[in-house]
Structure 1
Amino acid sequence: MSQYLLEAGWTGDGKMIGITEPRRVAATSLANRVADEQNCVLGTVVGYSIRFDDCTGEDTKIKFMTEGILLREMMGDPLLTNYCILMLDEVHERTLLTDIVMGLLKKIIRKRRSLKVIVSSATVDAEQLRDFFNTNTSKDKPVADYVKAVVVTALKIHVHEEQGDILAFLTGMEEVDRAVDLLNEHAKLIIDGKQKILPLPMFGSLPSTEQLKVFWNAPKDTRKIIITTNIAETSITIPGVVYVIDSGFVKIRWFEVETHTDSLIVAPVSKASANQRAGRAGRVRSGKTYRLYTEDAFDKFVEATPPEMQRSDLAPAILQLKALGIDNVLRFNFPSPPPTKNLLCGLELLYPLGAIDNNGELTSPLGATMAEMPLDPVYAKCLIISGTMECSAEITIILAMLQVQNVFTIPGGGQAALKARVARRKFEAEEGDLITLLNVYTAYESQKVTSWCHQNFLNHKTLRRATEIRTQMCKMLKKLNIPLISCQRDTEKVLRCITAGLFPNTAYLHYAGVYRTVRGSRELDIHPNSCLYAVQQPQWLV
């Protein structure tokens, strides 16, 4: 073991590897053997020290000694600064000096974390010794506010650890922004001459120019602290990351059968995700992962994140299976069988949409046409009937905008965030967010330049993608002989068409002042980013 450590370069800074033995004969015989294998004279690179016999020199890198010799060295050098690694051999004999040495080494490694201690034994209880040397006194106290804990941990790493960027995982944009704001406040307090910190957010709706900053090299004497969602778990690899902070939580999409809605819920990560996050550390050199949860909590995590088949709306899948001739979907052999109630919920949705009949069979032509469209059944129903409702031009725009994400760019904060909010108000409509998206696209059609999008805090790449999707939808309508007609700003026709397809998502204003879903009576709130958030509450919502 000592020779491997020597070859690995642990003694490159002039320090020694020390090995303690309970008996003098073991120390001398092992020193002779290692010296022979190293092809060196005993007392040069390899030496030993026992009572009344010191066979070491200035060039000694591997030193065998008895436990009593190590105790005497502690008297003159309490932190054992001459050693980089200490290996305690034959610990299972548990001599008096062995226990004293272990007790003192535990105190030393609290003060000098760079010292590595290896305990070697044939029969000793390894878990008992691991718990004895574990200096983490908070292992049984999981943190309450993991956002603050991420910030505190990042600052501790910055103060105590070597150079290297930090990557911290949180669940969503709000938590990322909060953590970045807290770190920016601390960054202002760092005095001149000390290493600075550069907090950076990373999430899906962040403008691409802001996202690219995490890949840039930090200025001189500055450490990057990147606060991210699970987008950095597998999708991207950020160079320079040495330390990872894992909050232990993630936002996942979950389908609620009672309300027939998809929700983003905060849930503990799976073991596979936790290990994937840990793998982000040390891509450039050996790294560390700080997990803000106990080992017992980790053992209770599920092995892997449940597949989407078990936590999503199955109506689109059922419609596709019906079109492929699978009539009895309840008995279909799935690799990961979904809950039966999810399958029944999908059938209950397809029936009022007119996609299946009383016998559960695919209707023609409506059901067959919906199955051909690469859209969710509720959106496909809107698109099919938009021709007869004389608003197909507007519906194609709205549905195309719903297929993309992050139409509005969201600056990190400050004056830019206020300007973005003011710019957004120019497109808002009292009829709701879908008409707002229609207004955005209509305005974009008359401009189609990047500078205009940047001025109005719109994502040009996203709008360009929406244009491409709408072009494909128009071709699909032509193929299905559905006329492309504009409602000529008669938004009531558009709202009626939307309601005909999205009626399962209807909610009403309860007398208690909150919204409740028609299905399941689940309490809902209007999102702060919605244009309806600050207006008088309407009685009904879709």
Structure 2
Amino acid sequence: MSDFKPRFLKPSDTSSFLDKSGDTVIEFTDFVYNKYLSQSIQTQRQRLPIFQNRNHILYLLEKYQTLVLVGETGCGKSTQIPQYLMETEWPGQIGVCEPRRVAAISLANRVADETGTLNQSDTVGYAVRFDSCLHKPKIKYMTEGILIREMMSDPLLKDYSVIMLDEVHERTLYTDILMGLMKKILRKRPELRLVVASATMDARELQAYFNSNHTKNSKKDSAVIMGVQGRQFPVQIFFVKDPVPCYVQATVDTVLKINSSKEPGDILAFLTGQEEVDKAVRLLKEHANQIEAAGSSHNFIVLPMYGSLSHHEQLKVFKSVLNNYRKVVIATNIAETSVTIPGIVHVIDCGFVKMRWFNGETHTDSLIVMPISKASATQRAGRAGRIKPGRCYRLYTEEDYSKLPDTTPPEMIRINLTYVILQLKALGIDNILKFSFPSPPPMKNIKGALEILYALDAIDIEGDLTKPLGFNMAEFALDPLYSKILLSSGEFGCSEEILTIISMLQVESIYVKPSSGNFSVKAKIQKRHFEVEEGDLITYLNVFSAFAKSGFTKEFCHRHFINYKSMLRVLEIRERLERMMRNYDVPIISCAGNTEAVCKCLVTGLFPNAVYLHYSGAYKTVRGDVELHVHPDSVLYTIPHPQWIMFCEVIHTTQLYMRDLTVIKSEWLLELAPHFYHRTTVHDY
């Protein structure tokens, strides 16, 4: 490991490490609960640092409405507090909110094992996007979005007696919404208890935020802070001596160096997105096959982990491997917090993360690959110190580390707020400006979101949700632009095609991009078979249609360089969305090849993302006059550029690139979005 120089992180410096993503009933039936195993689990639970604070936690929850729990990594707060409440027969359901679905699933499985749950789905369960519990388990792990959706039917959460917001430090969009909503609910329900838990957060600030619930005459605080020491092994930190030219290739090289050494333990590597993860996995599998064929003792298996992967595939990283194999997990920041992957000793940190930033001029979120914060770097290193002393290899210099920001900006202040406002309106929050956000978003973002929602016909001129369109759009766990397209598709007679396109847009990439020259050329040739001049979205439609005709086979995907796992995820999402559309009486019909009807339907939602070809040769937004460029992966990149196109997202690398494009006509904008566009004459002098 000569490319790195070591720095040692002592256990006392680890206070910012974290303890960490049709309806289906989830039951835990694979646990053999006998007396010996029961005693073993009870012993493990009693060894957790939080066990020493069990009675103190229960006492504080009796006396205070809100407990701000600062629990260090490994203390057991995510799994043990719900069990303490259940053991003391706390009335009502105990809800635990996690930022990511994989965290909710893995924690629920862990607690099910510890409680000895067999077929008792009324004890422990979980609910994530598109999968919800039909029963009401005593302990319910869920994603934050699920709880917000439950508030639409039960605004005061009367089924719950305790809500735990875990990993609040991440400050996701839903985290801030939930804290604002819970503040209002706590005022109406004095018996309800809230636990705000994390390892790195400004506890005083949160305590003051929830204490503001009380009347001025009340001298007693409603929120209290408690700290719990963690259980963390020392982690040795290594920085590169010189900056690396490509962190994906450097990640692959570092994995191979660790694997060739005699250092035991599994490896977790962080990259920014699905494409990078798939590329690294593909390269490492080639090396793994060569090592296994040579009869070497340094065998390893490679597993990907990212948000759009099906939860069945995500759970593979938690399973044990053969004794003579090493497990290598290549993940996005989904594995940064909440999730503890067994066996991890080595962590490789690329130093970057893919984040969304809202551009008020283009009315779009831009995906930007940017450096992580120091807090995130510490969290990533913490993954290596959960079971034994570990090592973290940072693919950036120590000097670059010192320049990183301390924390990541809250998602609320940096992304598009159309979905946020739509959800709050559905929950009865009429005056958005007076809503108590923990971190108030910029006023221009609120103004832009209201303008878009009005143009989508989701709200009226008074700012109220329209019936039925606005209320129906709020029910979809999708960007309002996409939900408007889905609900309008029946009118254009192309709901079958729109279902497919919107489902395809929910995964990061459907194409496999080989790194070697020969296979790379073959992949481009195969992609050409599906490409059409109407753009990328109609090309996606062709890919899915061909995949369906093949019988959804893996061989088809392998032959045409299509990502099979992504296509299976598309199928799953499409089935769920189709059921929702039927619930809203949207006819499921096909346009039988009428692509103009599909393109016009797409305009009903994506009209804010329209651009025109400027005489300079670049595209410019109609509103804001921002210069954008066609992404090299687009089917429109190599053909004469059409005059008008729409995009789905913007990626900021060397310049602003548009992805997922569709060719349109300018008159469609005037016809389908009259509140947003009007014709005018511009004179150049």
Fold similarity call, TM over 0.5: yes
Aligned to 1:491: 595
Counterpart CA distance in 2 for 1:474 and 1:313 is 26
Cα 1:356–1:173 shift into 2, 3 Å: closer
Alignment of 1:143 with 2:246, yes or no, is: no
Counterpart CA distance in 2 for 1:137 and 1:275 is 13
Aligned to 1:356: 459
Aligned to 2:372: 269
In structure 1, stretches of 5+ residues that fail to align are: 1-135
Contact 1:184-1:199 within 8 A present in 2 as well = no
* 1:408-447 matched pairs, under 5 angstroms: 408-411=511-514, 413=516, 415-447=518-550
Aligned to 2:605: 501
Contact 2:281-2:304 within 8 A present in 1 as well = no
Cα 1:415–1:387 shift into 2, 3 Å: same
Q: Deviations over 1:416-468 (max 9, x none)?
A: 44444333332222211111122222223333343444443434454444344
Q: Deviation of residue 256 (structure 1)?
A: 1.8
Which of these residues, 580, 583, 586, is aligned with residue 482 of structure 1?
586
Contact 1:281-1:289 within 8 A present in 2 as well = yes
Aligned to 2:654: none
Cα 1:236–1:311 shift into 2, 3 Å: same
Please give the secondary structure, in 2, of the residue aligned with 1:399.
helix
Counterpart CA distance in 2 for 1:375 and 1:209 is 23
- Equivalent residues, number: 403
Which of these residues, 510, 524, 534, is aligned with residue 407 of structure 1?
510
Contact 1:198-1:218 within 8 A present in 2 as well = no
Contact 2:465-2:471 within 8 A present in 1 as well = yes
Please give the secondary structure, in 1, of the residue aligned with 2:492.
coil
Aligned to 2:355: 252
Q: Deviation of residue 315 (structure 1)?
A: 0.5
Contact 1:143-1:292 within 8 A present in 2 as well = yes
Q: Deviation of residue 332 (structure 1)?
A: 0.7
Q: Deviation of residue 328 (structure 1)?
A: 1.1
Cα 1:292–1:449 shift into 2, 3 Å: closer
Contact 2:244-2:395 within 8 A present in 1 as well = no
Aligned to 1:534: 638
Q: Deviation of residue 183 (structure 1)?
A: 13
Contact 1:168-1:227 within 8 A present in 2 as well = yes
Q: Deviations over 1:142-172 (max 9, x none)?
A: 7374637767877886898845565543434
Which of these residues, 400, 405, 410, is aligned with residue 307 of structure 1?
410
Aligned to 2:270: 169
- Which piece of structure 1 moves more, 253-262 or 473-482? 473-482
Aligned to 1:395: 498
Q: Deviation of residue 356 (structure 1)?
A: 2.0
Which of these residues, 368, 373, 377, is aligned with residue 471 of structure 2?
368
Counterpart CA distance in 2 for 1:310 and 1:485 is 40
Cα 1:500–1:481 shift into 2, 3 Å: same
Letter aligned with residue 480 of structure 1: Y
Which of these residues, 335, 338, 346, is aligned with residue 449 of structure 2?
346
Output the TM-score relative to the length of structure 2.
Answer: 0.50
Counterpart CA distance in 2 for 1:272 and 1:182 is 29
- Which piece of structure 1 moves more, 249-258 or 412-421? 412-421
Counterpart CA distance in 2 for 1:401 and 1:301 is 35
Counterpart CA distance in 2 for 1:153 and 1:377 is 42
Please give the secondary structure, in 2, of the residue aligned with 1:264.
strand
Contact 1:206-1:411 within 8 A present in 2 as well = no
Identity across matched positions, percent: 50
Letter aligned with residue 450 of structure 1: T
Q: Deviations over 1:496-535 (max 9, x none)?
A: 1111210111122222322222232333232233222222
Output the TM-score relative to the length of structure 1.
Answer: 0.61
Structure number with the bigger relative contact order (C-alpha 8 A, sep ≥ 6) is 2
- Which piece of structure 1 moves more, 492-501 or 280-289? 280-289
Please give the secondary structure, in 2, of the residue aligned with 1:337.
coil
Q: Deviations over 1:31-50 (max 9, x none)?
A: xxxxxxxxxxxxxxxxxxxx
Counterpart CA distance in 1 for 2:639 and 2:569 is 31
Contact 1:180-1:199 within 8 A present in 2 as well = no
Cα 1:490–1:156 shift into 2, 3 Å: closer
Which of these residues, 566, 570, 591, is aligned with residue 466 of structure 1?
570
Alignment of 1:382 with 2:485, yes or no, is: yes
Q: Deviation of residue 384 (structure 1)?
A: 2.7
Counterpart CA distance in 2 for 1:373 and 1:410 is 32
Q: Deviation of residue 379 (structure 1)?
A: 1.7
Contact 2:239-2:393 within 8 A present in 1 as well = no
* 1:314-333 matched pairs, under 5 angstroms: 314-333=417-436
Aligned to 1:10: none
Q: Deviations over 1:354-413 (max 9, x none)?
A: 222223222333323323344322122222332222222322222232234443344554
Please give the secondary structure, in 1, of the residue aligned with 2:376.
helix
Letter aligned with residue 492 of structure 2: M
Q: Deviations over 1:476-503 (max 9, x none)?
A: 4444343333222111111111112101
Aligned to 1:47: none
Q: Deviation of residue 342 (structure 1)?
A: 1.5
Counterpart CA distance in 2 for 1:137 and 1:400 is 41
Counterpart CA distance in 2 for 1:519 and 1:406 is 29
Contact 2:239-2:398 within 8 A present in 1 as well = no
Counterpart CA distance in 1 for 2:327 and 2:404 is 30
Please give the secondary structure, in 1, of the residue aligned with 2:366.
strand
Cα 1:466–1:213 shift into 2, 3 Å: closer
Counterpart CA distance in 2 for 1:473 and 1:282 is 41
Contact 1:202-1:214 within 8 A present in 2 as well = no
Contact 2:418-2:453 within 8 A present in 1 as well = yes
Q: What is the root-mean-square deviation of aligned Cα atoms in Å? A: 4.4
Counterpart CA distance in 1 for 2:400 and 2:449 is 35
Aligned to 1:130: none
Cα 1:149–1:464 shift into 2, 3 Å: closer
Q: Deviation of residue 218 (structure 1)?
A: 9.7
* 1:97-246 matched pairs, under 5 angstroms: 143=243, 145=245, 147=247, 162=263, 167-172=268-273, 177=279, 202=304, 204=306, 229-234=332-337, 241-246=344-349
In structure 2, stretches of 5+ residues that fail to align are: 1-236, 647-685
Contact 1:255-1:311 within 8 A present in 2 as well = yes
Counterpart CA distance in 1 for 2:281 and 2:580 is 46
